[in-house]
Structure 1
């Protein structure tokens, strides 16, 4: 049994203090008032550019980028803590997408644009997939790329392209692409990005010859951060639900005393605890140097758990609120809508379970 699964935090001492400082920073900047989130829903770009710049100034975008490359130089333990708090606050800013791009720009040595991204002055997003529910790079260099979160606010697009035996990285500015957006259930959007007509080998500016390994690592780290964001949403909606169960009365009794509701709440709490164990164990493994298939397997275990549990807990919380939980005016439903968007992002539960079994199959002793 892992330390996390046994109820012992995977980080301690100075590291635990560093992670708690990240949490405090996030709570202070993001706050707890969901009125901001409601105001931004179904608008474009759908997030607060000023707040994204503040995130950059706080070092969040480059949290896991090395100090040599201009980042903060922290680890995945801090990154998942930050993503968890962003999920708790339902922050619509594309923090995970920008962090993914920062990882690629650092690998490419594109220092000027990386500096702008880390400062929150540029919104650089990566268009890498052309179909849903995949971790595979798009097969075409010229075809449209889809499912780019909050793409309407991008100033630059990173465009990885399979060239020969490697993956080259191209950069396109906003005026070199056409972006069409489609609203998601939570009020954000996903963008489909198509390069405008170009000449030469690949669209935009060629900025790196082979970032294949960096892309694989960046996608895994983004998947784990998304799992952590789901965890934050689960904990926030569950805390909201517990408070409701303690105060709402029916038939002259507090509804939290009803055994059937206690059972459902206990099941939800178990799902939250198991997800936390999986996410924190994966972050600790990456920080301890796990690479290759070992890293991919443990990330897939965490993302599969979070994607499945995120929906189960969100649905349970809405149901435990009764009719009011289904109304758009009540905040618990916002967490369910966010879970509906994040659960399939960067691979859903089924995809990650399949990958985990392929990389770490069960064996009989």
Structure 2
């Protein structure tokens, strides 16, 4: 076990947080709530987001100087996993991890510090606008690292002008603003773009699970120069770190969904009867259940390892490899468990009245977000190949 999670006091605190988060989520956010929120944007409940802020969870990762609690990713994973177990539709990882950690990486900037304080208080829901193609593959170079964006940020008469567009931005509705990655004469730039800015065209797309993603178009948008959060290598490093951490926390959500789908399926196998016996007594179905359990345990173990490594200070290429591994493994495991769960339930498994369908739809969305398993395996291979080449060259 990594020293990051070997401290018995911290392990006890994590266990207490897990119990509290699970109890809160089960009481306040049953799957029926997620089903009811699918009808219209934003696809989640802003009042419930305020309740999360009242619990202190929106400030878990935020530094104490910005009104947060400066906790680790393992703590955040407990909360994200508990909410995912109830298919709560709130954008925990997109806002609190991806956007929050990106702002923290730019926290030397006054605008970033102010936004972090607003996140902790539940007043801000920033979204990261980084992806420009359908799959996300175009956001990485042939070394598996963050590539120069096609969107452009230019300086003009004492202001910044944004041109281009972004896809699959989450949260797609109710976002208070966007952290936009763009190319500039000085390298990659990260720019804060408030929602409703003149020249910003937003189209909302409903996803399979009833949540929403946005497509953005920047039509000569002018913003003040103090909205430039980071530029050059600092911007690249900030985005890469936040992206890798978001991959791991998305993996934690997928692992939680997998556990819930398996638990639901095992309960069904114990109660559904054929020929006077529970179908769970049939050896062929037991073998399939064991395969599901193996997939769940493998993905859960990898997530726990990754959280310990990240909280222990894992950085650079090692962090990128870890994030790619987690997202690939957890995406594939969740989809495999979803397929088996539906088959073992039979036709009822795909009806809207069956909660299993909610977990299946969420697994479909999460497995694709930030790059699916195929993309992450490709990145892992590219990162590994060039990392080995760099080491050999250095030697």
**Residue 178 of structure 1: aligned partner:** 201
Could you say which residue in structure 2 is the equivalent of 1:198?
Answer: 221
Matches within 5 A, 1:320-331: 320-331=344-355
Corresponding residue for 2:17?
22
Query: Is the counterpart of residue 157 in structure 1 residue 178 in structure 2?
Result: yes
How far apart are residue 298 of structure 1 and its match? 1.4
**Counterpart selection for 1:293 from 317, 330, 341:** 317
Matched residue, 1:231? 255
CA contact (8 A) 1:294 1:359 kept: no
State the alpha-carbon separation in 1 of the partners of residues 285 and 206 from structure 2.
34
From 86, 93, 96, give the equivalent of 1:96. 93
Shift of 1:74: 1.4
Distance 1:283 1:164, change over 3 A: farther
5+ residue gaps, structure 2, are: 141-146, 153-162, 389-395
For residue 143 of structure 1, report the CA deviation from its aligned partner.
1.1
In the TM superposition, what whole-angstrom CA distance separates every residue of 1:315-359 from its partner, at most 9, and x where no partner exists? 111111111112111011111111111111111111211222333
Distance 2:23 2:35 in 1: 19
- Partner Cα distance (1:178, 1:25) in 2: 41
Q: Structure 1: where are the runs of 5+ without partners?
A: none
Are 2:37 and 2:43, in contact at CA under 8 Å, matched by a contact in 1?
Answer: yes
Separation of aligned partners in 2, 1:241 and 1:200: 52
Does residue 357 in structure 1 map to residue 386 in structure 2? no
Change (3 A) 1:212 1:56: farther
Partner of 2:125: 123
Q: Which residue matches 1:140?
A: 151
1:213, distance to aligned residue in structure 2 (A): 1.1
The number of residue pairs the alignment matches comes to 356
User: In the superposition, relative to structure 1, how do residues 11 and 270 fare at CA in structure 2: closer, same or farther (>3 Å)?
Assistant: farther
Q: What is the CA RMSD across the aligned residues, in angstroms?
A: 2.3
8 Å contact kept, 2:264–2:356: yes
SS in 1 for 2:62: coil
Distance 1:127 1:55 in 2: 24
Q: What CA distance in whole angstroms lies between the structure 2 residues aligned with 1:304 and 1:278?
A: 11
Q: 1:57·1:118 contact (CA, 8 Å) conserved in 2?
A: no
Are the aligned partners of 2:166 and 2:216 in contact in 1 as well (CA < 8 Å)?
Answer: yes
SS of 1:125's partner is strand
Shift of 1:68: 3.2
Cα drift, residue 293 of structure 1: 0.5
Match of 1:42 in 2: 39
* Aligned 1:208-247 pairs, distance under 5 A: 208-209=230-231, 210-247=234-271
Q: Which residue of 1 aligns with 2:157?
A: none
Residue 295 (structure 2) aligned to one of 271, 274, 278: 271
Q: 2:128 touches 2:170 (CA, 8 Å); kept in 1? A: no
SS in 1 for 2:179: strand
Q: Alpha carbons of 1:149 and 1:327: their partners in 2 closer, same or farther (altered >3 Å)?
A: same
